Structure 1
Amino acid sequence: MHWVDEGIVLGARSYGESSVILELFTRAHGRHLGLVRGGRSRRQQPVIQPGNTVHANWSARLDEHLGTYAIEVSVSRAARLMEAREGVAGITLLAATARLMPEREAHEGLYEAVALIADTLPDVAIAAPLMVRFELEVLRLLGFGVDLSECAATGTTEDLVYVSPKTGRAVSRAAGEPWRDRLLALPPFLRGAAAIAPEDVRAGFRLTGHFLARHVFEPRGLPMPDAREVFLRFVA
């Protein structure tokens, strides 16, 4: 088995004395692991840093095997990301969220989103709203989509400002007013508004965080990534 693809480095862990198991989010093959022989060498270490895009050549005797990677860097972002705490937190959070997707399940649109966010980091003002949308898309692909199209109570598509924490459906201002303290805020930028205020971004993260915790992290026995809280500190 053999394929060639481009992928964004999510992480790597040591294997043996000199190799690493590299985790990529690839365009055509999804989240995919492979062994990089000599991956701990001085030449390879700068290549396998999170956030870099690499040209990956994967081969294995059988498709279900781990296989081996031969890689070359094509877009080097890691050095720039590591210069700022928000860059480190952002790429760590991005990798942790992408890691929720099943292995070897291709989602080209999701790959493009990972690349776009990686390109915008560490500029939190640009990257943070994209990260919220990315989390919403991951929820959708995992089968836990949030429906922001119309009010769950009245069917109207106007003045949607809340989301039910139980159903994940939008609620209009009028219908939700009696229960506003129990509802999640629906930030305007998720409904197409051009202006994005920091408080709207934080509301977006509360929204996605609620459903990620409820449907994904808690059922898997996983904690919410620490990098998420750290990244949010830079939303201002």
Structure 2
Amino acid sequence: MEWLQDGIVLTVRPLGEGSVILDALTRDHGRHLGVVRGGGSRRMAGVLESGNLVRLTWRARLAEQLGSYQAEPNQARTAAIFHDRIKLASIVSLCALVPAITPERHAYPRLFDALDALTDAASDMTTLEVAAAVVRFELLLLEELGFGLDLRECTATGILQDLAFVSPKSGRAVSLSAGAPYRERLLRLPAFLTDANVPVSVACVADGLALTGFFLDRQLLSPHQKALPAARLRLSEMVAAGLGSD
């Protein structure tokens, strides 16, 4: 068995003397693991950084085996954002979240395309834009796994304007007027998620991360005795403390 495809490095863990198990996201083969011989070397450390695009050749005698990877550098994307702690934390967070939630070897082309586009463009985006893109990606992740939120109209009145909250029970939007009496029980809906023309603010990104984090935890993690990855929790803390570069 053999296939050749580009993959986004998600996580790497040591295996024996000098080898690693690489978890990568591919477009046609989904999230796929394989052993990289010599992957623990200093030369390969920069290649197998979370968020990098690598050219993968996977081989195994049988399809169900773990198999081995030959990983060649394609685009060293992480190095371009290493100076920006929020951008780096954003990419690392997504690369930790995808394997925590998605099943192995199940193709999600939209997820691959979205993560590929974000990791490719992150160096040219502002810090705030990258953090906001994390929220949008997590909404897509919920949708792809069958738990998408309905942010099109108010669940109580059907109106399309002034959507300000999300019901934690239904995952549907609630307008400002309908939700005001119950605001303490509702999740805040950042305006940039319903109107692309609205400027993104730090507070809105924080609200967005709280929104997606709630549903990721309730629908996809807690039922399997899992929690949000530490990298995702750190990102929320960093955004809450204020965006900026170090």
Q: TM-score range by the shorter chain?
A: over 0.9
Letter matched to residue 98 of structure 1: V
Letter matched to residue 38 of structure 2: G
* Secondary structure at the counterpart of residue 171 of structure 1: strand
Aligned residue in 2 for 1:102:
103
Once residues 217 and 117 of structure 1 are traced to their aligned partners in structure 2, the CA distance between those partners, rounded to angstroms, is 24
Tell me which of 175, 183, 189 is aligned to 2:178: 175
Letter matched to residue 213 of structure 1: D
Tell me which of 192, 197, 200 is aligned to 2:201: 197
Alignment of 1:102-141 (within 5 A): 102-119=103-120, 120=122, 123-141=126-144
Q: CA deviation at 1:54?
A: 0.4
Aligned residue in 1 for 2:79:
79
Percent identity reads 46
Instruction: Judge conservation of contact 1:81–1:91 (CA < 8 Å) in 2.
Output: no
Once residues 234 and 176 of structure 2 are traced to their aligned partners in structure 1, the CA distance between those partners, rounded to angstroms, is 32
Aligned residue in 2 for 1:47:
47
Instruction: Judge conservation of contact 2:25–2:31 (CA < 8 Å) in 1.
Output: yes
Aligned residue in 2 for 1:14:
14
Q: Which moved more, 1:209-218 or 1:223-232?
A: 223-232
Once residues 227 and 45 of structure 1 are traced to their aligned partners in structure 2, the CA distance between those partners, rounded to angstroms, is 19
Q: CA deviation at 1:123?
A: 4.3
Letter matched to residue 191 of structure 1: T
Once residues 231 and 71 of structure 2 are traced to their aligned partners in structure 1, the CA distance between those partners, rounded to angstroms, is 27
Once residues 84 and 157 of structure 1 are traced to their aligned partners in structure 2, the CA distance between those partners, rounded to angstroms, is 37
Instruction: Judge conservation of contact 2:108–2:144 (CA < 8 Å) in 1.
Output: no
Q: CA deviation at 1:187?
A: 1.0
Tell me which of 162, 166, 170 is aligned to 2:169: 166
* Secondary structure at the counterpart of residue 43 of structure 2: coil
Higher helix share: 2
* Secondary structure at the counterpart of residue 117 of structure 1: helix
Alpha-carbon deviations, 1:1-47, whole Å to 9, x = none?
Answer: 11111011111111121211111011211110011112122332221
Letter matched to residue 105 of structure 1: H
* Secondary structure at the counterpart of residue 64 of structure 1: coil
Once residues 78 and 148 of structure 1 are traced to their aligned partners in structure 2, the CA distance between those partners, rounded to angstroms, is 32
Once residues 84 and 174 of structure 2 are traced to their aligned partners in structure 1, the CA distance between those partners, rounded to angstroms, is 38
**Structure 1 residues without counterparts, runs of 5 or longer:** none
Alpha-carbon deviations, 1:151-172, whole Å to 9, x = none?
Answer: 1112222222111011101112
Once residues 233 and 16 of structure 2 are traced to their aligned partners in structure 1, the CA distance between those partners, rounded to angstroms, is 34
Q: Which moved more, 1:63-72 or 1:44-53?
A: 44-53
Alpha-carbon deviations, 1:61-108, whole Å to 9, x = none?
Answer: 111111111111110023334444324422220112211111111112
Q: Which has the higher contact order (CA 8 A, sep 6+)?
A: 2
Q: CA RMSD for the aligned pairs?
A: 1.8
Once residues 175 and 87 of structure 2 are traced to their aligned partners in structure 1, the CA distance between those partners, rounded to angstroms, is 36
Once residues 174 and 78 of structure 2 are traced to their aligned partners in structure 1, the CA distance between those partners, rounded to angstroms, is 41
Once residues 41 and 148 of structure 2 are traced to their aligned partners in structure 1, the CA distance between those partners, rounded to angstroms, is 42
> What TM-score does the superposition give when structure 1 sets the normalisation length?
0.92
Once residues 193 and 37 of structure 1 are traced to their aligned partners in structure 2, the CA distance between those partners, rounded to angstroms, is 45
Aligned residue in 2 for 1:227:
231
Instruction: Judge conservation of contact 2:128–2:201 (CA < 8 Å) in 1.
Output: no
Once residues 72 and 88 of structure 1 are traced to their aligned partners in structure 2, the CA distance between those partners, rounded to angstroms, is 22
Q: Could you list the runs of 4 or more consecutive aligned residues of structure 1 that deviate by over 4 angstroms after TM superposition?
A: none
Once residues 40 and 173 of structure 1 are traced to their aligned partners in structure 2, the CA distance between those partners, rounded to angstroms, is 53
Aligned residue in 2 for 1:67:
67
> What TM-score does the superposition give when structure 2 sets the normalisation length?
0.89
Residues 187 and 48 from structure 1, CA distance in 2 versus in 1: closer, same or farther, beyond 3 angstroms?
same
Q: Which moved more, 1:199-208 or 1:226-235?
A: 226-235
Instruction: Judge conservation of contact 1:9–1:48 (CA < 8 Å) in 2.
Output: yes
Q: What count of residue pairs does the alignment treat as equivalent?
A: 236
